[in-house]
Structure 1
């Protein structure tokens, strides 16, 4: 039986799963001598590998990047700000970052014209995670309590807007600045009543530390009026201008990888955990299911497809960000997002 060269490539690359920890799509695709060599690109994660990167992992091991003629190398930054800086200076071609960090970056004088081209998290994962045994079951219970805020935490940037929308006096909540390394240990030990963080990280980490699940209250800001989008793929301005087809191919492969992760989260979690240092399949599966449910497969995405931004919602999110951040110039959607690299809506459906 004869098969096309493209189909052969997909099959062979799908078998190439024995990659080093933390590196998944780096293997170059097979190609005939007459074919052009794959385009080598660098992709940056803004934090160590976990279930949030499952779509990229599956796009790599499933041969989707290779089928687009891409050979993708990966690296890990220390934060969204660090990842954005790498794309801005050209040392990385793509990065997964918090789009709200990008919005603040673009407000700086002389900032490189870095833009997002694909939104992976339709809803930001910002949350307050609390102990019910400390008297917190709903957001209104946070008044009079102590809130631990880790250095560099992104959730706290929209907390003023969420608090105002829900009639909570900011002055009634004591904030303790803490290290990210002790966020879960301090809440577990009862040294703070609640912490800010991501809804798919702290709760699962706390349960892994022995905190009973029924003692945790996960107060997702999206459930309390937060309009913010979350993680998005940004691209080097130089690459976007010189090789737009490469950007489009990367986005197509990522949409395919997202579909694979949604259809088979168990396999996705296994692949992610195998590339982590001491990764747990069970923890990453729980994390991935929370991400798909709360951040990726939202009602907006089910209706309109993944990857795009609704202009009216974006304007509302800027209003909320402005309660904590004084913009030099109010950003417009086109300042931070370029939809031209997205497939049409029927090519962005996740099911």
Structure 2
């Protein structure tokens, strides 16, 4: 059995190798978010109960009727393909190392989510809330806040990406209401904690991996996400794989007009491991490039994450010490990105 070091400790990843059990997408629950838009409280509570079941048993679920316009997504993908097609030197003008708050372009292999691997085979554009440099939180050194780095070209890239970001953040607010109901809390419990959320979006491009695949160098190595939950749109063929409770890798293929939602380490800590932060990885064997857009949604920087009282009792004492949300996320970035650390040469 192989293991992976995560922000919540060492996790078993199942058998070594890259084989995946091919199962129907219904292995991962599909939840209709229309219930969260209903004026009927019972409809919303039923949706919350579905989210609870998915989060305790799987840690992943699809959502449909999510309210994000297909046109907004399509425009973001179109402009992103034009950006990634630029010469490497042009993209590196906004290299993420030039940002004090983790924004900009990341070339191939400069991220390593699994410490035992040799770099992740994707390139990325990272952004978050576009917060002015003179904002009090930026001046106070809260390093997840600040302005984004934008390329000069393509001209339509910035407006397309910001429109997508705005839509996914709105979806994140809806999901936080669903998570509150899933935890049998007041529906608005989390809303005061997401006035200025650490909501970090990425646009990812994966080149195809053909022939014999190096197990130590895939699209993204086995990992769990850092924040409360991830909102993922997949564009292209199946590449995302999720580790089930039996230690078997299961495909999570794209389903039209849906997003994949998964629990992150921060929500696992908040729920005292009631909700599963599930290991996953990406291997692009489609023979063509693949794109995806994840939004990693966490609360405001200074939010203290400690096990909720409703998720602990005498038989389930708190598993994690309190930690500030922003500091926790930064600690995970420090362990993942080349530009944030001095690493020995990869072999």
Tell which structure's C-alpha radius of gyration is larger: 1
Q: Which has the higher strand share?
A: 2
Structure of greater relative contact order (alpha carbons < 8 Å, 6+ residues apart)? 1
Q: TM-score, normalised by structure 2?
A: 0.26
Q: Which has the higher helix share?
A: 1
